[in-house]
Amino acid sequence: MFSRYKKDPNAKPVAKAKIADAPVETVSAEAAQEPQTSVLRRPMPKARAQAVSSDKERKRKERLSEIKLDLHRELLDNLNLSALENASENDLRNEINAISTEVLQDRAIVLNREERNALFRELYNEVTGLGPLETLLQDDTVNDILVNGPQQIFVERSGKLEITDITFKDEKHLLRIIDKIVSAVGRRVDESNPYVDARLADGSRFNAMVPPIAVDGSLVSIRKFKKDKLGIDDLVNFGAFSEEMAAYLQAAVATRLNVIVSGGTGSGKTTTLNALSSFIDNAERILTIEDTAELQLQQTHVGRMESRPPNVEGKGEVSPRDCLKNALRMRPDRIIVGETRGEEVIDMLQAMNTGHDGSMTTIHANSARDGVSRLENMIAMAGIEMPIKAVRSQISSAVNLIVQASRLQDGSRRMTSITEITGMEGDVISMQEVFRFQRTGLTPENKILGHFTATGVRSHFSERFRMWGYDLPAHIYEPTLG
C-alpha cells in the first residue's frame, strides 16, 4: 500500500519525537484573588492566555490534534521523504490519505467527513508546507503572524493583535518548520547562529530567533506579503490621511522632493512608501534597494535589488550600502531605499544632494525631529567625523520632507504629521509642520477620535509646485476646525 514512497525497511529508524506534555491552563490561587487596586488607578483587564473557544469545541480540537500527532509521526516513519520531493500533488495527497485511512482503521478511530478532510489537509500542509503556519499564511485577513514558542501564536487582524488556537506540537516541531523555511533560502539557524531573516516563497518577510537566545522557545515573526498593496485611494478611504494631504504628497513626489517616511515598527512605513511611489512618472528609471523586497512599484522602468547578509562562514555579504553605491552607477532617475538604518545613510544623503532628487526612504523614528536626530546618529555611527553643523547642513539640504507614520493605540495606522525641512538657522535645522492629525478624544470603546488638519502654514515649496504645474489651492493649507 505505501508503495513508492514507503521507506526502505533496512533504513535507519527515525527517532520518534517526544510528545510535549500539553500545558494545562489552570487558574492559580493568586490569580483567583482579586487584587486591591488604588482608587486612582483603573483596574487592569485580566490577561487572556488562551483563545476563547467553547469546551466542546476545545475537546474536539484536542482529540483531533492528538490523532494528527500520531498520524504525523506514523507518516514520517513510513514515508520516504526524499522520494516525496518528486511526487505530484495528487500522488502525495493519495498517499497521505491512504496511510492515514489505514492507521485510522487500525486504531478503530471514527471521524466524520469534515474532520477527516481537515485532518488530511493539515497532514498535507505538514508534509509539504509550513505546518500549522500554513492556514494563517493562506488567511488573507491576517497581516502579521507572531509565534512565541510552540504553544502561542498571535496574529494581527485589522490592526489588532489576537491569540489563535493554533499551536505547534512542541519546540522540536516548531524548529523543524523554521529549518524548512531557512534551508530553502540557503541559510541555517541553530545554537551558534540563533537568529535569521528570510523571505518565504510567497514574498512574506520572515524572522526567527531560536533557543537559547529565545528563552521560552523559538520566536518567529512573519510580515505577510500583500499582493494588492494599499494604494493612495485605499489609504484615504481608510482614514490614514486626508484628501488634501494626498494632493500635497502628489505635488511633493511629482516635483521630486526628497522624502523620508518615518515611523515605528509596523506603523505602515513601507505601505506609505509604496503608495507614494505611485505618484512617480512612468517614464522615470527607478532603482529600489531593500533587505527583503516588499515594494511593488507600478512603473515600467524599475530595477529591484535585495541586499544579502553574510552566509554561515561570514562571507558573501552584499550590504545595502554596496547596493546603493552600485545603484548610483546605474543611471537612476530616482532611488528608493526600503529602510535606512546604517552606514548607507551617507550615500543616501549624497544621492539626494547630487542629482537623484526625488529619492525616498524610511527610517525608524517617532517624530520628524527624532528622525533628524536618527540621521545624525547614523552618520556618527558610520564613522564620519564632521562637525555637527556640517552634518546638519548636509541633512537639511538633502531631505525636503518627513512624513510620519504611526500605529495608534487603537490599532489604527495614520499619517500623523507631514513636516518640511526648510533650511538651517544657526546650528539648528529649521522645520515646519504643514499637516497633522489632531486627536480630540477617545470613544468608550477606546477608538481614537480626531481629524486631519493643515497647520495654517503655507508650503515652503509652493512656488516649486506652481512652476511644475501643481498649483495647489490656498485653502488646503487652512486649518480644519474639529
Ligand X SMILES: Nc1ncnc2c1ncn2[C@@H]1O[C@H](COP(=O)(O)OP(=O)(O)OP(=O)(O)O)[C@@H](O)[C@H]1O
The stretch near ligand X (CB under 6 A) out of 31-39, 87-95, 235-243, 365-373 is 235-243
User: Given candidates 169, 413, 436, 460, which one binds ligand X under the rule CB under 6 A?
Assistant: 413
DSSP secondary structure of 82-134: HHHTTS-HHHHHHHHHHHHHHHHHHTT----HHHHHHHHHHHHHHHHS-TTHH
Cβ-based neighbours of 241, under 8 Å, separated by 6 or more: 235, 249, 414, 415, 435, 452
Site membership for ligand X, residue 266 (CB under 6 A)? yes
Contact stretch for ligand X (CB under 6 A) within 174-182, 265-273, 325-333, 348-356? 265-273
Q: Is the peptide bond before 35 cis (omega within 30 degrees of 0)?
A: no
Mark the segment that binds ligand X (CB under 6 A) among 8-16, 186-194, 260-268, 313-321.
260-268
- Locus of grid cell 514507503: 6
Q: Which does 100 bind (CB under 5 to 8 A by kind): ligand X, Mg ion, none?
A: none
Q: What's the CA gap between 107 and 154, in Å, rounded?
A: 34
Instruction: Kindly tell me which residue out of 58, 226, 341, 439 binds ligand X, with binding defined by CB under 6 A.
Output: 226
Using the rule CB under 6 A, is 346 a contact of ligand X?
Answer: no
Is residue 202 within 8 Å of residue 137, measured between CB atoms? yes
Q: Is 267 in the site for ligand X (CB under 6 A)?
A: yes
356 binds, among Mg ion, ligand X, none (CB under 5 to 8 A by kind): none
Q: Is the distance from CB of 291 to CB of 339 less than 8 angstroms?
A: yes
240 makes contact with ligand X (CB under 6 A): yes
Q: What does the alpha-carbon distance between residue 372 and residue 402 come to, in Å, rounded to a whole number?
A: 9
Query: Interface with ligand X by CB under 6 A: which range of 10-18, 171-179, 267-275, 444-452?
Result: 267-275
Q: Which residues 250-309 are close enough to bind Mg ion by CB under 5 A?
A: 269-270
**What is the per-residue DSSP string for 211-222?**
TTTSTTS-EEEE
- Tell me how far, at minimum, the Cβ of 226 lies from ligand X, in Å: 5
Tell me if 361 contacts ligand X by CB under 6 A: no
Q: Report the residue number, 143 or 319, with the smaller CB distance to ligand X.
A: 143
Should residue 270 be labelled a site residue for ligand X when binding is judged by CB under 6 A? yes
> In the bound complex, what is the minimum distance in angstroms from residue 149's beta carbon to ligand X?
21
How far apart (Å, rounded) are the C-alpha atoms in residues 132 and 214? 20
Size of residue set near ligand X by CB under 6 A: 16
Contacts (Cβ under 8 Å, ≥6 apart) of 293: 199, 203, 304, 306
CA neighbor of 271 nearest in space, from 290, 296, 288: 296
**Cell of residue 380, nine digits:** 556618527
By CB under 6 A, what part of segment 126-155 binds ligand X? 143
Radius of gyration (Cα) for the chain, nearest Å?
27
Q: Which does residue 217 touch among ligand X, Mg ion, none (CB within 5 to 8 A, set by kind)?
A: none
Residues contributing to the site for ligand X (CB under 6 A): 143, 223, 226, 230, 235, 238, 240, 263, 265-271, 413
